[in-house]
Structure 1
């Protein structure tokens, strides 16, 4: 991979890291415990609030995992390992990196990993 391409991916990853950090900061306010005061809030409203809280919590966890993946990719750039599959060592297709610059696996290895996970379930 050319240095200019790596630099472009690094900029994308840095921007993505900043966005995710912003999302995580905002979503922590929304995930506070739901108030149990029935006089102030009806059952339906409380149920809606609890459902919304669960959705925010799931999004928060997803964003945390995504942030970790982005930071790992930035570390691979610093170590000159970026763009290579962590499983087989082959170069990851640039089109795949364009879609998901934090990806660790080539498409073949990703497919094998997903198949293994399905058989475990």
Structure 2
């Protein structure tokens, strides 16, 4: 069974969460232009080029949705830290293993409840 996290472990994981959050927000700002509407101007963009542009747009939008989801998970983990609930499974209340949190610091469930 996993043990409760020490304050140094929580601080280390909090720093990682804040770094991930900053990186995701920076990437969101860089990728904003990829989600713009693809123009129908057949004169400047050929049919295949437009299809490629539409595919890139869809991939950029999917990536943006994933980043939004990741940012929400990080925000929830930071909230759990301020409420002293971080490191405890949101489902069963058992401690979440430090090794699990090292892999995914935003994890809210122990391995038993996550599977």
Question: TM above 0.5, one fold?
Answer: yes
Structure scoring higher RCO (CA < 8 A, sep ≥ 6) equals: 2
Cα drift, residue 64 of structure 1: 0.3
Q: Which residue of 1 aligns with 2:19?
A: 15
Aligned length: 111
Q: 2: distance between equivalents of 1:2 and 1:108?
A: 21
Q: Which has the higher helix share?
A: 1
Q: Which residue of 2 aligns with 1:89?
A: 93
Q: Which residue of 1 aligns with 2:56?
A: 52
Q: 1: distance between equivalents of 2:31 and 2:83?
A: 32
State the TM-score, normalizing by the size of structure 1: 0.89
Q: Which residue of 1 aligns with 2:82?
A: 78
Give the root-mean-square deviation of aligned CA atoms. 0.7
Q: Which residue of 1 aligns with 2:113?
A: 109
5+ unaligned residues in a row in structure 1: which ranges? 112-121
Aligned partner (choices 43, 46, 61) of residue 39 of structure 1: 43
